[in-house]
Chains A and B, each alone.
Chain A
Amino acid sequence: MSKNKKAIIKLDHISKTYNEYGTRIKALDTVSLEIYAGDFVSVIGPSGCGKSTLLNCIGLLDRASSGKVYIEGKNTSKSSGKEIAKFRGEKLGFVFQNYNLIPRLTVIENVILPGLIMEKEPNELEKRARTLLEEVDIEHRANHKGIHLSGGEQQKVAIARALINNPVLVLADEPTGALDSENSKEIMKLLVKLNEKRKVTFVLVSHDMDIAKYGKRKIMLKDGRIVKNSTNKLKNIRKN
């Protein structure tokens, strides 16, 4: 990656250790990583290799046992809970494997929810949400309850929701894990489109190599360490 670019996320020797039933488990072992604006990073690796832990540390959902996490140059390791919550709300977007829509809320209400949490103006949020829903091609279901949508539709809503606060980075944890292959492809194409056209930066975690191919960059984890950090050669997938 270009040395001239400034990293929006920088992990500096982060480690994460768990204590489980008296045994110390090292989920991440001195991982260093830089993510740049417009990146599309696929994190792959076998089950238990630390993919989700890495994503949680980048997303400030979990604190690293050691090392530093920088977001747009700011060291978050010493930040208070309040500051961390603000970082998450303003700078990051999340897409979960099971979509995590609030079932009793409508699609539009789900999309604007992160904006409301950040105390943004509801009317502005609604306008922006409708634009995003159009972009993810689900605008026609705006007033339906999230629970009445198919898996693929719910994930599209979740993607629109992740973008409502205009984050610098969207973290997607197995975004196609609960979808069939057709829907998986559709979702990945949507992510690629957003990355290409809107320049949304993505970090995607998957155990599926076919899904990982959609990323511009591939990071392979094994036993909590990065064993491979390479640029993806399968450009034709993105072109298609």
Chain B
Amino acid sequence: MGVSSRLALGELKDHKRIYTIIIIVIALTMASFILENAYLNYMVQVVDDTTKIVTSDAIVADPSTNLRDLYGTETELENAGEIARRIEQKLPGYKTTIRVTAQGTYGLDLEGEVADACTIQGIDPAKDDKIAGISDKIVKGRFFDEKDPVLRGHTPLYIEVKGPGNLPDFTYGAGERFLEDEEAYPIIVGDTAVKVHPSIDVGNTFSLTLSVSGEEKSYASVKVRTIGLYRSGTPTLDAMIWFMHADSLREIKRYGEITGKDWVVPGIGTFRGYNPIKVDRDRGDVVLVKAPAPLHQLDPVGHSESVKEEIEGVVPNLKVYSWHDFLVYIAGSMQDVITIMLWGSMVVTLILCAAAIKYVMDSIVMRKTREIGTLKAFGARDRVIFKIFLYQGLVIGFLAGVLGMILSLLVMYLVNMYGVSVEFIVGTQLKIGFLLNWLTILIALLLPVLLAVLAAAMPAKKAAVLPPVEALRKGELSL
């Protein structure tokens, strides 16, 4: 151990009371930083698991859409396939998938149950799952399988209906209600929905009425069978957002080439669509975009904005929404405000700690001028004196960082052990969790060290440059 570190340790022992207080204050600040960051990381993870199911990193939609439509725009995005390819081509590393969406109502014909609403996301299981990650959230049943009968070969027999009275005309695909032998489309539903409607549990078949077009009023009634339940982490979204195969929805929405003749049913009318259909996989309602992973998770909002801007540069005439836009839409900007306030208070506390370290060391330098002079008389160079004070800052910062880490891990352990959760919207519970990443650990350990070293550097410099004769004289005077 060098002479500077020996003397620094002695100084720390001499002033252990005041330094302990400083270490505890910094440690508490760092613990709150770690907990806040770990909670935010957890929330980001939940956001990954929920909003990103709907939007991935960003979503490209028709210009006529708005944020409300992100649950399921229904409106077709023209040239969706070409847009998806263009984004992948212009933005290296970006991945896209085309989705077909619809709004659904169910429970109309389920005895003893009230009707409820949902949003259907039509996904390409192989490609979409890699972008939005759904299969790993299946908690019961299974994900889509290649053998699933996702196509009927015809649309649900749309019939044009004249709107009664002042109501507008609409088309209604009701054919499957009449075709008892039709096999049901496979569907994955949120587990929260099943808690309210047990009759839609895995293995059950039920009827789903879909609103399948944004502008032109068009509805279809289709038979579906639940093959799996998924749980994302946000119960409200689980209740609303369900998944079908994109080709199923393409068929229902007539996104493809329809051949053959209309089907005339005497006494009822002419059904359109009960014809062989060849779905067009380039057609869809939105394009989901996944950007390359950011280098760090410190500024997820900033990253989402830059991703959005990149995509807007490629498709300037279309609507682009980031996952953060969607989050703000569903949760408001409260989370962002709280985050900013917490970061602000942490910065203020750390500045106060730095000021306290500087003040304490300044007073130590003043009281120790005779010692400094003596050391210089014995040949100590400025560097030796500088290091005595700098090492103190180093130890204070290191201990504060480690203590902060231990405190935060303890809180995380207790919260996890007792399974703390909070009331969320419509009586659902949101589990409080923490997700600690290496970057947070690194910052929590390095920031107090950096802060304490910087705070100590000023008095250390002052002590180091004291001329020996002056230090000795001042020291004598202060006796």
Residue ranges of A at the interface with B (Cβ–Cβ < 8 Å) = 56, 59, 61-62, 81-82, 85-90, 94, 96-98, 100, 102, 104-105, 113-114, 116-119, 165
Contacts and interface: CB of A to CB of B under 8 A. Distances in A.
Contact of B379 (A62, A98, A105, A117): A117
A61 B374 contact: no
Contacts of B380: 85, 89, 117
Contacts of B296: none
A33 B174 CA distance: 119
A105 B378 contact: no
A90 B379 CA distance: 8
B381 A81 contact: yes
B370 A104 contact: no
Contacts of B476: 97-98
A96 B6 contact: no
B26 interface: no
Nearest to A89: B379
19 contacts: A82-B381, A85-B380, A86-B379, A94-B374, A96-B472, A98-B370, A98-B476, A100-B374, A102-B7, A102-B371, A102-B374, A113-B3, A113-B378, A114-B378, A114-B379, A116-B2, A116-B6, A117-B3, A117-B380
B468 interface: yes
A39 B313 CA distance: 88
Contacts of A88: 376-379
Nearest to A101: B374
A62 B13 contact: no
Interface in B434-479: 467-469, 472, 475-476, 479
Contacts of B370: 98, 100
A88 B472 CA distance: 15
Given A98-B479, A104-B10, A116-B6, A61 B469 contact: yes
A209 B139 CA distance: 99
B36 interface: no
B423 interface: no
Contacts of B479: 98
Contacts of B378: 88-89, 94, 113-114, 117
Contacts of A86: 379
Nearest to B476: A98
Interface string B361-403: 0000000001101111111111010000000000000000000
B377 A94 contact: yes
A151 to B, nearest CB: 13
B180 interface: no
A104 B14 contact: yes
A234 B468 CA distance: 35
B369 to A, nearest CB: 11
Contacts of B472: 61, 96, 100
Given A90-B379, A100-B373, 14 more contacts: A61-B468, A81-B381, A88-B376, A88-B377, A89-B379, A89-B380, A94-B377, A98-B476, A98-B479, A100-B475, A104-B14, A113-B3, A117-B380, A118-B379
Nearest to B13: A104
A118 B354 CA distance: 33
A88 B378 CA distance: 6
A62 B467 contact: yes
**Which has the most chain A C-beta neighbours within 10 Å: B384, B467, B472?**
B472
A97 B10 CA distance: 24
Contacts of B374: 94, 96, 100, 102
When A and B form their complex, which 3 residue pairs have the shortest distance between CB atoms, in order from nearest?
Answer: A89-B379, A114-B378, A116-B3
Nearest to B475: A100
A105 B380 CA distance: 17
A20 to B, nearest CB: 13
A107 to B, nearest CB: 15
A59 B377 contact: yes
Contacts of B475: 100
A207 to B, nearest CB: 15
Contacts of B371: 100, 102
Contacts of B10: 102, 104-105
B467 to A, nearest CB: 7
A81 B382 contact: yes
A89 B380 CA distance: 7
Given A61-B468, A61-B469, A116-B6, A85 B14 contact: no
Contacts of B375: 113, 117
A95 to B, nearest CB: 10
B237 to A, nearest CB: 63
A85 B376 contact: yes
Contacts of A61: 376-377, 468-469, 472
A40 B387 CA distance: 37
Interface string B160-204: 000000000000000000000000000000000000000000000
Contacts of B384: 117
Contacts of A89: 378-380
Contacts of A62: 467-469
B379 A56 contact: no
**Which has the most chain A C-beta neighbours within 10 Å: B3, B7, B14, B479?**
B3
A87 B379 CA distance: 7
B457 to A, nearest CB: 19
Contacts of A98: 370, 476, 479
Contacts of A116: 2-3, 6
Contacts of A97: 476
A214 B457 CA distance: 46
Contacts of B377: 59, 61, 88, 94
B415 to A, nearest CB: 43
B462 to A, nearest CB: 16
